[in-house]
Each structure stands twice: as C-alpha cells, then as structure tokens.
C-alpha cells in the first residue's frame, strides 16, 4: 500500500476554524469526486487538536509549531499511482485539486511525501 501524506498549514489570515471547516466540507467532497479517477482507495483527514494536552505533547519533543492537519491518501502501489496520474482525467483531477488547495493551504510551508506502511508491532 502506497500512502501520500500531506501535512497542512493554513494560509495566513485564515482562521483555524474556517480552515478546518473548508477542508472538511468543501475540499473533502472535491477529493471524493476524484478518488476513482486517481486510483485512490482511501482518503483520511486528521484535524490536530488544541489545548493543554496538545501543547504539552508538542513541546515535549521541541519541534516546530504543529500542523493544522494531516491528509492521507491510500493507493494500491506506485505503479497504480503513476498510471492513474498520467491519464488525461488524472491530470485534470490533480490540477483541480491543486487549484482548490491554493485557496486555503499554505503550500510553501506544508509538507507532502509518499511512503509505504511498515508493520512493526501488532498487538494481540
């Protein structure tokens, strides 16, 4: 299974609440409309939490400011990902999603990468 992971930061001037609302209720359905075209098996959004516990966890490792959220898109494998992306419809879908992302995501300060899941421990 190939995963595309996108660690998101919202555009400057956009409130966290507006960002999360737009991402879930506007962008999410747009992604859903392109899933088959892109060969995507699953799309998940992780909205980061705020509050005392979240602050303690974030500061415990001394890292940068937390992301506003993380998106995961699951694909069968690299070959499927590439094949779907090379089609005319796949290119149009990717272009449509990027156009929408530019309206609410600070792409320059967000991180995107591909990975393969590695099971290390599975509890009984």
pLDDT of residue 26: 98
Give the model's pLDDT for residue 61.
Answer: 86
Mean pLDDT of 65-78: 95
With contact defined as beta carbons under 8 Å apart, do 48 and 97 qualify?
Answer: no
Return the pLDDT at 62.
Answer: 85
Q: Cα(74)–Cα(13) distance, rounded to whole angstroms?
A: 31
More confident of the two residues 58 and 82? 82
* Residue 1 pLDDT: 92
Residue partners of 25: CB distance under 8 A and separation at least 6: none
Q: Of 56, 77, 73, give the one whose Cα is nearest residue 1.
A: 77
pLDDT for 85 equals 95
For the chain, list the domains and their CATH numbers: 2-75+90-116 (3.30.70.100)
Please write the tens of the pLDDT for every residue from 13-46. 999 999 999 999 999 999 999 999 999 999 999 9
> Concatenated DSSP letters for the chain?
-EEEEEEE-BPTT--HHHHHHHIIIIIHHHHHHHHHHHTEEEEEEEEPP-SHHHHHHHHTTT--PPPSEEEEEEES-HHHHHHHHHSHHHHHHHHHHHHHHHHHB-GGG-EEEEEE--------
Check residue 46 and give its pLDDT: 98
Q: For the segment 92-114, what is each residue's pLDDT rounded down to a tens digit?
A: 999 999 999 999 999 999 999 99
- Give pLDDT, residue 59: 86
pLDDT bucket at 54, cuts 50 / 70 / 90: confident
């Amino acid at each position: 299974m190939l995963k595309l992971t996108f660690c998101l930061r919202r555009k400057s001037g956009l409130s966290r609440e507006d960002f999360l609302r737009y991402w879930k209720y506007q962008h999410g359905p747009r992604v859903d409309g392109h899933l088959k075209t892109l060969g995507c098996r699953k799309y998940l959004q992780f909205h980061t939490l705020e509050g005392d516990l979240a602050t303690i966890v974030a500061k415990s490792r001394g890292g940068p400011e937390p992301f506003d959220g993380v998106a995961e898109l699951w694909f069968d494998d690299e070959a499927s990902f590439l094949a779907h992306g090379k089609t005319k419809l796949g290119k149009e879908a990717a272009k449509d999603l990027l156009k929408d992302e530019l309206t609410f995501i600070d792409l320059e300060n967000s991180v995107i990468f591909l990975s393969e899941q590695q099971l290390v421990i599975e509890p009984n």
